[in-house]
């Protein structure tokens, strides 16, 4: 009788362990699937941005065959591209960040780069403007200013405090160099600047796609290994 009860108990314990394992696997699968879904959504958004950038490159290239070459025609005359007072406020904030004066508004900060949400950067810019002049600026305007002056950065979407936010990632050395060019008026003509910026952004977006593809492939491998 004792042997029979022992066998029954062993089967029950084994069944409970199997159920617990399956539950853990199911939870882990759902977690990985959610991560994969978010990455795929981010990839779709970047592909849409790439399509728009390609159209802008074509418009600014005057039909040139090499659409992604970053070389410019040296024979074209250069002219100064000066920021207005609203654009200057963005450049001033970035300059202060590079100097380590606004660490409190950063999302992440290292020796080589810093990350900041678009909302935080925009809010700091608004603080520097008189209330009477706080009109016409928004997050899209902020992105255009960064592109206009060749301050290239990686932009991605991230869930922060249950809300999806746009995060800008800046390389400190490249940002300082771009700010220095504006300060010294060594920028290209408006048309050349736009074309180069679009090409730079296209290359950055392409690299983002490669990174996302690698992450998605890793998640798919993890999913395939669960329960095997």
**Helices and strands, number each (H, E), in the chain:** 6, 4
Q: Looking at residue 97, what is its pLDDT? A: 92
Residue showing tokens 């095997």: 228
Per DSSP, which regions of 34-152 are E strands? 108-109, 113-117
Are the CB atoms for 70 and 199 separated by under 8 Å? Answer: yes
How do strand 163-171 and strand 113-117 relate by DSSP bridges?
A: antiparallel
Q: Looking at residue 187, what is its pLDDT? A: 47
Q: Looking at residue 114, what is its pLDDT? A: 92
Q: Looking at residue 77, what is its pLDDT? A: 36
**Mean pLDDT in runs of 10 for the chain (228 residues)?**
56 57 79 89 89 78 50 42 82 91 90 91 86 77 86 82 88 88 62 70 87 91 76
Q: Which residues contact 173 (CB under 8 A, 6 or more apart)?
A: 112
Q: What are phi and psi of 43, to 5 degrees?
A: -65, -40
Output the six-digit token pair for 125.
């810019």
3-class DSSP state for residue 135?
Answer: coil
- Rounded to whole angstroms, the Cα distance separating 158 from 167 reads 7
Output the pTM of the full model.
0.47
| Per-position DSSP letters for 192-214, written without gaps between them | HHHHHHHHHHHHHHHHHHHHHHH
- Rounded to whole angstroms, the Cα distance separating 56 from 212 reads 24
């Amino acid at each position: 009788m004792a042997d029979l009860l022992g066998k029954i108990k062993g089967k029950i314990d084994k069944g409970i362990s199997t159920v617990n394992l399956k539950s853990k696997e199911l939870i882990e699968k759902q977690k990985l699937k959610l991560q994969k879904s978010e990455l795929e959504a981010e990839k779709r958004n970047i592909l849409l941005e790439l399509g728009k950038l390609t159209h802008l490159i074509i418009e600014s290239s005057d039909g040139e065959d090499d659409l992604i070459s970053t070389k410019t025609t040296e024979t074209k005359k250069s002219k100064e591209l000066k920021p207005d007072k609203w654009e200057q406020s963005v450049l001033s904030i970035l300059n202060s960040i590079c100097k380590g004066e606004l660490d409190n508004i950063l999302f992440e900060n290292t020796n080589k780069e810093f990350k900041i949400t678009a909302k935080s950067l925009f809010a700091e810019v608004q603080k520097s403007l008189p209330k009477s002049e706080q009109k016409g600026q928004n997050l899209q305007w902020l992105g255009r200013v960064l592109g206009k002056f060749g301050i290239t950065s990686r932009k991605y979407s991230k869930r922060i405090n249950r809300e999806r936010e746009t995060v800008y990632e800046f390389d400190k050395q490249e940002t300082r160099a771009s700010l220095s060019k504006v300060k010294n008026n060594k920028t290209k003509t408006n048309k050349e600047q736009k074309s180069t910026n679009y090409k730079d952004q296209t290359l950055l977006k392409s690299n983002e796609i490669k990174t996302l593809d690698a992450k998605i492939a890793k998640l798919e491998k993890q999913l395939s290994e669960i329960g095997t």
